Structure 1
Amino acid sequence: LLPNGHFEQGPDKSELNGTRVLGRYSIPHWEISGFVEYIGSGQKQDDMILPVPEGERAVRLGNDATIRQQLTVTRHTYYSITFGAARTCAQAEKLNVSVTPEFSVLPIQTVYTSSGWDSYSWAFKAKHTTVWLSIHNPGHEEDPACGPLIDAIAIKTLVAPHHVKNNMLRNGDFEDGPYIFPDAPWGVMVPPVSEGLYSPLPGWMVMSDTKVVKYVDAAHHAVPHGAGAVELVAGRECALVQEVSTVPGRPYRLSFSVGDAGDGCDGHLAVDAYAARATLNVPYESHGEGGHRRAELEFVADANLTRMVFQSANHHLKPDATLCGPIVDDVSLVDCGRA
Structure 2
Amino acid sequence: MERHARGAALFLLACFASAARAATAIPDGLLPNGNFEEAPARSQLDGTRVTGRYAIPRWEISGFVEYIGSGQKQGDMLLPVPEGAYAVRLGKEASIQQRIALTRGAHYSVTFSAARTCAQAEQLNVTVAPESDILPIQTVYTSSGWDSYSWAFKARRSAVTLIVHNPGVADDAACGPLLDAFAIKTLQPPQRTKSNMLKNGDFEEGPYTFLDTAWGVLVPPLDEDDYSPLSPWMVLSSTKSVKYLDAAHHAVPRGARAVELVSGVESALVQDVVTVPGRPYRLEFSAGDAGDGCAGSLAVQAYAARGSVKVAYQSQGKGGHTRGALEFTAIANRTRVVFVSTAYNVKADGTLCGPVVDDVSLVCTREPAARRLLL
For normalisation by structure 1, the TM-score amounts to 0.99
Match of 2:107 in 1: 78
In structure 2, stretches of 5+ residues that fail to align are: 1-29, 369-375
Distance 1:245 1:142 in 2: 49
Write out aligned runs for 1:117-196 (5 A): 117-196=146-225
The gaps in structure 1 that reach 5 residues or longer are none
SS in structure 2 at match of 1:97: strand
Q: Deviations over 1:34-60 (max 9, x none)?
A: 110000011111111111111110000
C-alpha distance after superposition, 1:298-323 (max 9, x if no partner) = 00010111100000010000001000
Q: Equivalents in 1 of 2:200, 2:179: separation in Å?
A: 29
1:302 aligns with 2:331: yes
C-alpha RMSD of the superposition = 0.9
- Structure 2 residue 254 is matched with structure 1 residue 235: no
Distance 1:334 1:186 in 2: 33
Q: Is residue 66 of structure 1 aligned with residue 110 of structure 2?
A: no
Q: 1:19-38 residue pairs with structure 2 within 5 A?
A: 19-38=48-67
Partner of 2:35: 6
Pairing 1:216–2:245 present: yes
Q: What is the CA deviation profile of residues 153-212 of structure 1, one whole-angstrom value per residue up to 9, with x for unaligned ones?
A: 000011113212210001000001111100110000000023211111021000000000
- Rounded Cα–Cα distance in structure 1 between residues aligned with 2:167 and 2:43: 28
Secondary structure of 1:170's partner? coil
Q: Which has the larger radius of gyration?
A: 2
Q: Distance in 2 between matches of 1:241 and 1:71?
A: 31
Distance 1:317 1:90 in 2: 23
In terms of fraction of residues, the more strand-rich structure is: 1
Give the letter for the 1:136 counterpart: H
Alignment correspondent of 1:283: 312
Query: Where does residue 255 of structure 1 map in the other structure?
Result: 284
SS in 2 for 1:269: strand
8 A contact 1:93–1:107 mirrored in 2:
yes
**Post-superposition CA distance 1:234-256 (Å, at most 9, x none):** 00000000000111111000000
- SS across alignment from 1:236: helix
Runs of 4+ in 1 over 3 A off after TM superposition: none
Shift of 1:140: 4.3
Which among 291, 294, 297 is matched to residue 268 of structure 1? 297
Identical pairs, percent: 68
Describe the SS at the equivalent of 1:167.
coil
User: 1:194 is matched by which residue type in structure 2?
Assistant: D
Query: Matches of 2:118 and 2:318 in 1, distance apart?
Result: 35
Shift of 1:281: 0.5
1:249/1:338 contact within 8 Å kept? no
How high is the TM-score relative to the length of structure 2? 0.89
Spell out, residue by residue over 1:50-99, the C-alpha distance to the aligned partner (whole angstroms, 9 max, x if none): 11111110000001011000000001111000000000001100000110
| Amino acid aligned to 2:100 | L
Q: How many residues align?
A: 339
Q: Is residue 2:96 matched to residue 1:57?
A: no
